[in-house]
């Protein structure tokens, strides 16, 4: 969605307006907030593609500073989803509502609890380990982290030394998810980065070479991992091909149609 100021604070004085406009055009705008909910340094990063209603999707990123709190972002969205200024939620904004819709107080959903000693996997602390990511299967965030640890011997050979993009779903795939291509200022435990030249300059990509990195991605709620077909040191020379095909389907006449191109 396009950026909208949703807190009562204002950006602290910084660079001149011309520099801010340039940064906005380039798709990477840094600023500081001193609001009721959001504090410290932040960045708005324009993502590729188009979001709802053809609008540019933007990602709001918290910088690592004294105001940063590990795992606090998801809690804030859950506990205080309304804008301080307008009382609207993301759903209200997406629906074009000028005023917040009437909402009944949601009944808290039970979460599986886990002892503190079980919230560390492969040396990575898993915050909110009891959060349900797949309610139908009763699978928690801790379960996903343990699963990543268990499959690491089979998965890492296909990830090592390769840039990866991820899809992060803080509340599971049934809720809002977002695509992340670049490594951000907020550290993902265990990962390494590689710089790749793009149209906007050299940008850091995520590389997961170890079990710790794989579990670190689970800690950051990465439920999809998309690896490049080339290694970080030879991105112009791909060495892996993943074919994609579609199953044959019947036409209205009953004949089987050939699969289309991937």
Residue 35 scores a pLDDT above 70: yes
More confident residue, 38 or 221: 221
SS3 annotation, 194-230: EEEEECCEEEEEEECCCHHHHHHHHHCCEEEEEECCC
pLDDT at 65: 72
**39-48, 139-148, 150-159, range with the lowest pLDDT:** 39-48
Q: What is the pLDDT of residues 49-61, one digit of tens each?
A: 665 556 777 777 7
**Average confidence score pLDDT of the chain:** 77
Which of 28-32, 66-70, 156-160, 178-182 bottoms out in mean pLDDT, i.e. has the lowest?
66-70
Look at 146-155, 183-192, 215-224 and tell me which has the smallest mean pLDDT.
Answer: 183-192
- Residues of the chain with pLDDT > 90, as a percent, come to 34
Q: Is the pLDDT of residue 154 over 60?
A: yes
- For 201-239, what is each residue's pLDDT tens digit? 888 999 999 999 999 999 999 999 999 999 998 989 999
User: What are the extents of the domains in the chain?
Assistant: 1-98, 110-235
**Per-residue confidence band for 84, with pLDDT thresholds at 50, 70 and 90:** confident
Residue 16 pLDDT: 66
Assess if CATH 3.90.920.10 describes domain 110-235. Answer: yes
pLDDT for 50 equals: 61
pLDDT at position 79, please?
57
């Amino acid at each position: 969605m396009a950026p909208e100021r949703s807190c009562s604070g204002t950006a602290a004085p910084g660079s001149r307006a011309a520099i801010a406009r340039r940064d906005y055009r380039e798709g990477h705008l840094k600023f500081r907030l001193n609001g009721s909910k959001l504090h410290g340094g932040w960045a708005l990063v324009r993502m590729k593609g188009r979001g709802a209603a053809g609008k540019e999707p933007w990602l709001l990123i918290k910088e690592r500073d004294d105001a940063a709190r590990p795992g606090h972002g998801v809690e804030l969205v859950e506990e205080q989803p309304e804008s301080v200024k307008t009382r609207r939620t993301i759903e209200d904004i997406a629906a074009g509502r000028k005023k917040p819709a009437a909402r009944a107080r949601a009944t808290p959903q039970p979460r599986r609890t886990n002892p503190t000693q079980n919230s560390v996997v492969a040396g990575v602390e898993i915050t909110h380990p009891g959060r349900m990511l797949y309610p139908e299967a009763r699978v928690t965030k801790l379960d996903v982290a343990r699963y990543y640890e268990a499959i690491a011997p089979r998965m890492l050979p296909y990830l090592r030394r390769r840039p990866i993009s991820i899809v992060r779903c803080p509340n599971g795939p049934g809720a809002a998810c977002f695509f992340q291509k670049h490594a951000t200022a907020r550290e993902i435990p265990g990962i390494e980065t590689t710089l790749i030249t793009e149209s906007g300059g050299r940008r850091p990509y995520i590389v997961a070479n170890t079990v710790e990195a794989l579990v670190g991605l689970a800690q950051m709620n990465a439920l999809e991992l998309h690896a490049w077909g080339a290694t970080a040191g030879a991105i112009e020379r791909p060495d892996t091909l993943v074919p994609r095909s579609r199953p044959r389907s019947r036409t209205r006449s009953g004949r089987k149609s050939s699969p289309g191109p991937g």
